[in-house]
Amino acid sequence: MDSYDGKADTGLGAGVLCGIGALSLPYRIVAAVMLAAIGILACAHLAMVFLHVAPSNTLSKRHAKAVNAWVYPEFEQNWKLFAPNPLQQNIAVQARAEIRTPAGDRSTTGWIDLTALDIEKIRGNPLPSHTTQNELRRAWDFYVNSHTEDNRPNGERGELSEQYIRRIVMLRLGSQHDGGTVERIQVRSVTRSVAAPAWSGEKTDTRPYYRVLPWWTVTAADLSDADRAARDDRTEASR
């Protein structure tokens, strides 16, 4: 008869431990400290994002500077956690340019619908780029949210949002356009409410509403590296 010593056969050798338990005491302490630090960092991150997306309250107002410093730009959120607000308007961003020809004549282009150009690239494309889908739209939201109705900056990020819009427009237009040099640009938005479905019986004002920004003189900071180098070359050649 086989003897039975009362010990269950676990399939593991005697004294074999797994995970942190297999480490020596100093290493277990280090691992525990690291896990605790990661847990604290994760909780802090969730708290910051929560305060950022939550409705305005005493705590979020008191620590707004710290929250914004943590969230922007890597963890920016553009939706509200407790009150998602579906879009009910179509907003198109358009630009026009003042051109100086080699002969010294000046002319102004018509309005160029930059949003429509992006939509053309998206329609029928199963994998449109993130830039085409979001760059212009998010840049315009950034500008509107950091400026008053009369286009005055309402915070520290106002100047940055203006520089961002100018750079995007110049990337789309290029420093050379219609056979001349772009010297000034102007941007506007065209907002139209989405019409209510016919069966709803609601009446919606679908007339376009415009927000026109002032003319901006193009500077070297608004140009891409390639356009800046090309402009410098033309300047040297004209001397």
Report CA Rg, the chain: 29
Residue 221 CB-half CA count within 13 A: 8
For residue 222, count other CB atoms closer than 10 A to its CB.
21
CA trace torsion 38, 44, 47, 48 (10° rounding): -120
Q: Identify whether the C-beta of residue 203 lies closer than 8 Å to the C-beta of residue 160.
A: no
**Average pLDDT of 82-102?**
83
What the block records as the tokens of 87 is: 């879009």
3-state secondary structure of 215: coil
pLDDT in tens, 148-201: 999 999 988 899 999 999 999 999 999 999 889 999 999 999 999 988 888 877
3-state secondary structure of 67: helix
- Reported confidence tier of residue 212, pLDDT bands at 50, 70, 90: very high
Q: Could you tell me the residue ranges of all domains in the chain?
A: 19-71, 89-238
- Reported confidence tier of residue 18, pLDDT bands at 50, 70, 90: low
- Reported confidence tier of residue 13, pLDDT bands at 50, 70, 90: very low
Give dist(CA 20, CA 10) in Å, integer. Answer: 19
Q: What are phi and psi of 176, to 5 degrees?
A: -110, 130
For residue 169, count other CB atoms closer than 10 A to its CB.
25
- Is the preceding omega at residue 26 within 30 degrees of 0, hence cis? no
Q: Identify whether the C-beta of residue 174 lies closer than 8 Å to the C-beta of residue 227.
A: yes
CA trace torsion 29, 31, 33, 37 (10° rounding): 180
**Average pLDDT of 118-122?**
95
Q: Identify whether the C-beta of residue 189 lies closer than 8 Å to the C-beta of residue 137.
A: no
Please, what is the Cα angle at 114 between 73 and 215, to 5 degrees?
85
Greater pLDDT, 163 or 8 = 163
The burial class, CB within 10 Å (0-12 / 13-18 / 19+), for 208 is exposed
Taking the complete model, does pTM exceed 0.85, yes or no?
A: no
Greater pLDDT, 54 or 99 = 99
